[in-house]
Amino acid sequence: MFQLSNDLSQSSKPEQYTALAEMARGLLADERDLVANAANFSALVYHSLADLNWAGFYFFDGTELVVGPFQGKPACVRIAIGRGVCGTAAQARATQLVRDVHAFPGHIACDAASRSEIVVPLVAPDGTLIGVWDVDSPREARFDDADRAGMEALCAVFVELAWGRRQR
């Protein structure tokens, strides 16, 4: 049985993300199903970090981003590449750290309570776009460079273990 550590709030952000990466490695280590791993990864992050109202995946289907496993309120189902924060991250293949979503041109408001957002593009080792990892907060300026580094490290674990060993 997997045990979720609930004492991360007393640690620095780098320490929180190091612990989360270790937990993610353990959680994903023995499972090859992409959907199962994405679901557990979403739950791990959502229930481990403070001030989140959405955490989940949008997978690229060859044309657009389609919602995958997540934690939070129901979400937008399809997002065009280049549209909103998720579509911008996918198109640019660069993490988008948005302190105030209301100031982001073309922001897609799936949950009106969201005030800040971080989106990490998921790219396979061969350069293929997998999708994006999207995390929202009801608190403005919730995410900073420590979150960027931590989320990117977490996503590297996901790509390595969940995408790299997925069932075909």
Tens of pLDDT, residue by residue over 131-144, are: 999 999 999 999 99
Confidence of residue 168 (pLDDT cuts 50, 70, 90): very low
Closest CA relative to residue 75, chosen from 56, 48, 98, 51: 56
For range 13-40, the mean pLDDT? 96
Tens digits of residue pLDDT in 141-158:
999 999 999 999 999 999
Tens digits of residue pLDDT in 64-114:
999 999 999 999 999 999 999 999 999 999 999 999 999 988 878 777 889
On the question of pLDDT at 7 being above 90, the answer is: no
CA separation for the pair 113, 15 (Å, rounded): 28
pLDDT recorded at residue 165 = 76
Q: Which amino acid is at 22?
A: E
pLDDT recorded at residue 107 = 79
Confidence of residue 4 (pLDDT cuts 50, 70, 90): low
Burial 136-157 (b: 16+ CB within 10 A, else e): bbeeeebbeeebeebbebbbeb
pLDDT above 70 as % of the chain? 95
Task: Quickly list DSSP for 101-157.
Answer: GGGSTT---SSTT--EEEEEEEE-TTS-EEEEEEEEESSTT---HHHHHHHHHHHHH
